[in-house]
Amino acid sequence: MIELIPAIDIINGQCVRLTRGDYDQKTVYSSDPVEVAKEFERLGFRRLHVVDLDGAKSKRIVNAPVLQSITEATHLTVDFGGGIKTEEDIEKAFEHGASLVTVGSVAVTRPTLFIKWLHKYGADKMILGADVRRGKVSINGWKEDSEEDLLPFLRRYIDEGVKNVLCTDISRDGMLNGPSLDLYSQVMRAYPGLNLIASGGVSSNEDIEALERIGVPSVVFGKAYYEGRIDITQLLKPWD
């Protein structure tokens, strides 16, 4: 059974979604992310993906208090990303209740530092963020494209012990036009033991089922839920 991970993206303390990572194309879905998280728990979800979009833009954690409020109000396992650039940021995320942290830009710009963190905190606590645009890994809140090709980038860190990878096809994020099945199929064929977390483009239960059929272990979704395109009852039925 594919792991289902709803997402809460935060700007100015509000629950929002962007389109293709564009901060000028923002939709606010709730002024209270904590209540949204509590609703996810009430529905039966066990995991939550929280993204500090202010942090991603500012290159430092901004919404740690919101993270803490969510983790204090629920029993959800929360992975947190956005603005994690230093060890102090990682410590802050854990201190405010995150169970895992997602790190992307540092893995591109300072690979030795990322490997140090991976070995210090352990692969079970770290998610490698690998957000892709036109085949290249993107950084700093999707504002910049690197020269890193996805599969060799992943290989470098899998060899160092990475188990968890969050991969977003930026061109599909927030578009509700289906996930990048070809991209995820390539990754799963190359690294079948990887806990790949697919993100971007999910628009329906059928999209999630398609990801499960190609062997993707986990999926993050947000906009499709907020806009009522996913039948939560059917999604969670196998867990009953």
Q: Give the distance from CA 155 to its chain's centroid.
A: 19
Over the chain, what HEC string results? CCEEEEEEEEECCEEEEEECCEEEEEEEEECCHHHHHHHHHHHCCCEEEEEEHHHHHHCCCCCHHHHHHHHHHCCCEEEEECCCCCHHHHHHHHHCCCCEEEECHHHHHCHHHHHHHHHHHCCCCEEEEEEEECCEEEECCCCEEEEEEHHHHHHHHHCCCCCEEEEEEHHHCCCCCCCCHHHHHHHHHHCCCCEEEEECCCCCHHHHHHHHHCCCCEEEECHHHHCCCCCHHHHHHHHC
Q: Which of 54, 79, 131, 169 does the annotation list as catalytic? A: 131
> Quick check: is 54 catalytic?
no
Active site residue 131: yes
4 Cα distance to chain centroid: 12
The count of other CB atoms within 10 Å of the CB of residue 234 is 11
Catalytic annotation, residues? 9, 131
